[in-house]
Copies of this chain bind each other. A is one copy, B any other.
Amino acid sequence: MPKVDWIIEELVTANRILAREGIVDSFGHISSRHPDNPQHYLLSRARAPERIEAADIMEFALDGTPVDPQGRAPYLERFIHGALYEARPDVMSVVHHHSESVIPFGATGMKIKPIFHMGASIGHEVPVWDSHDQFGDTSLLVTDMAMGRDLAKSMTSSPTALMRGHGATVVGRNVRHAVYVSIYLEVNARLQKEAMAMGNVKFLHPGEVDKVRERTGAYGINRAWENWCGRAGREMQPEQT
């Protein structure tokens, strides 16, 4: 199977998983950098993740111009994806979502930090980006490259960022990794919120975060991926790298 077709199937699966695991509702999206052209990326047309099929996946230039739209309407916020691929060559997949437990952190400015080993993949501390600082009163949507680039600046060294009054953006070294970080960002935020209500929280030691992150690879991610595929009613594809 050509790599691009393989990645389109991965994206369909990723959308279904993000919906099944409660990271996205009818909104939110995941993209992959194009495997044959690093200046392009693949992203669904504007559709709810739980409904997406292979024919919905479109190709975009980094500035958000669709390559062959065939009448398909794109997401208004595709600029999040292009801006991150532009700023960070290490990034191969981007997720934007409004998962519920992260919103209260963005709204209060409390910092999300790893509270258990599964949360270490979010990084040492999740930065919060506020669109109002640079752009004032907007619909909060990232609807052009200027906003996308400002968001990307907040996560030059972070795999995750919260967006005040909006949601979160997560990047990964491939589609499976970006889904994995997105899911455990939500779980970590939920557990941290509970722990904060209970007393003083011992977060992971910084050295522990580093040790976990060094170890996080296909061994663990594919175990979860197989499970999430089953729960979402999708076949797990053999890995292509």
Counting chain A residues whose Cβ lies within 8 A of the other chain, the interface size class is 35 or more
Nearest residue (CB) in B for A114 is B165
Q: Which chain B residues lie closer than 8 Å to A106 at the CB level?
A: 116
Residue A138 interfacial (CB < 8 Å): yes
Residue A100 interfacial (CB < 8 Å): yes
Given contacts A46-B219, A198-B105, A203-B107, contact A187 B117 (CB under 8 A): no
Which residue, A26, A199, A219, has most C-beta atoms of chain B within 10 A? A26
Q: Which chain B residues lie closer than 8 Å to A212 at the CB level?
A: 139-140
Nearest residue (CB) in B for A108 is B199
- Distance A212 CA – B230 CA, assembled complex (angstroms): 37
Q: Which chain B residues lie closer than 8 Å to A47 at the CB level?
A: 223, 226
Q: How far is the CB of A215 from chain B (nearest CB, A)?
A: 5
Q: Which chain B residues lie closer than 8 Å to A26 at the CB level?
A: 223-224, 227-228
- Distance A79 CA – B241 CA, assembled complex (angstroms): 32
A132 lies within 8 A of B208 (CB) = yes
Residue A194 interfacial (CB < 8 Å): yes
Residue A181 interfacial (CB < 8 Å): no
Q: How far is the CB of A68 from chain B (nearest CB, A)?
A: 21
- Distance A205 CA – B110 CA, assembled complex (angstroms): 19
Given contacts A132-B208, A211-B139, contact A165 B202 (CB under 8 A): yes
Residue A196 interfacial (CB < 8 Å): yes
A107 CB contact (under 8 Å) in B46, B116, B211, B227: B116
Q: Which chain B residues lie closer than 8 Å to A140 at the CB level?
A: 116-117, 204, 208, 211-212
Q: Which chain B residues lie closer than 8 Å to A228 at the CB level?
A: 26
B116 lies within 8 A of A50 (CB) = no
Interface residues of A (CB under 8 A from B): 25-27, 46-48, 50-51, 73, 98, 100-101, 103-110, 114-118, 132, 136-141, 164-167, 187, 190-191, 193-205, 207-208, 210-212, 214-215, 219-220, 223-224, 226-228, 230-231
- What are 10 A-B contacts with C-beta separation under 8 Å? A25-B224, A25-B227, A48-B223, A50-B227, A103-B115, A108-B200, A139-B212, A140-B204, A140-B208, A141-B215
Given A50-B231, A51-B226, A132-B205, 14 more pairs with CB closer than 8 A: A26-B227, A98-B116, A98-B118, A104-B198, A107-B116, A108-B195, A108-B202, A110-B199, A115-B165, A116-B166, A117-B166, A137-B210, A138-B208, A139-B212
